[in-house]
Each structure stands twice: as structure tokens, then as C-alpha cells.
Structure 1
Amino acid sequence: MCAKVEPAGSGTPQPQPPAPGALVADVSRQDRVRVGEFRGVAGPYWMLRPAKGGAEWEVLPECTRAATPAERLGARTARENARSRGEVA
């Protein structure tokens, strides 16, 4: 389980958001890591979207880390496969 969100001004620094489009790993689930493109900030949450397209999801910044090279490659491959099938532009 990830750390709880601390109220603003609590002295606990929040991670800085990555650049839009950066690949981020969501480690909040026990069973698997989800990799998504960073889309923006919504309140205390970061918005991520699957690289191959689909619905965005919210994740606490404390439950994320930079995607590994293997995770980035997998996400890019999934996107290119979806593009070749006409599922994304």
C-alpha cells in the first residue's frame, strides 16, 4: 500500500510531476505495475493514460515511479501495435 496523502503545508514534500507524456509506472496495485503516460494533475492525484489508448486513471504521486527501460519499451510497442490496428492515431 502506498503512503497516505499529506495535507498541504505538512512538511512532507510531494513528488514533482513529470513532463506531460512521460511514461510513469503506477505501483499502487499488489498484483501488477501499470505503465501510463502522465497527463496532468487533478487535486492530489496524477492522471495517467495507457500508452495504447483508453481511459485515464488517477494515482497518488507517492504510488508512482519512473518507468524502467523495459516498461517504456513495452508501452511503446503496445502503442505501435494499437496504431497498426487503427485503434489510436
Structure 2
Amino acid sequence: MRIVAALAFGLLLASSITASAYTQDEVNACTPDAMRLCSAAIPDAHRVGDCLYHARRQLSPQCAAVFARYIGHGPQRRRAVAETN
């Protein structure tokens, strides 16, 4: 549970959104990537968010869509926006 909370906070910091804007599904989408790519940064939420952002080319499609939704990079953002409309 501590890891999930750290990841959620990391996503919040990395995306510069309000606290109510991320969902449990978004956290669940990025938890495996955080464990795989950023385990050395856990439990520091800020470091996890930074690590995921810097490793964004290696993210799973699900986690990449979460980041794209908030930070708006490239074709993943266009797909994420299209899926939500």
C-alpha cells in the first residue's frame, strides 16, 4: 500500500495536476512500471515520478497513456484524448 501511495503522489508531482485528478486505475496502470523501472526510487514519491517521466519511452502502453494524458507528449496524447472523447 505504501508503494501505491508513493506512486500516486509521484504521478501527481510529475503531471502537475490537482490531487483529485488522478484515479486508482491510473495508479494501477503505472505500478508495474514503477516496480520494474524505478524500484530504487521507492518509496520517495517525487523520485518515482521523476524516474517514470525520464523512463517514459520504456513505459507500458497503459502507463504511457496516463502520462500522455497529463503531460501531452506526441501521438500517445492524441490517442489518449481520442479514447476519452
- TM-score class, shorter: under 0.3
Quick one: higher RCO (CA 8 Å, sep 6+), 1 or 2?
Answer: 2
Q: TM-score, normalised by structure 2?
A: 0.27
- Higher helix proportion, which one? 2
Q: TM-score, normalised by structure 1?
A: 0.26
Identify the structure with the greater strand proportion.
Answer: 1
The structure with the largest alpha-carbon Rg is 1
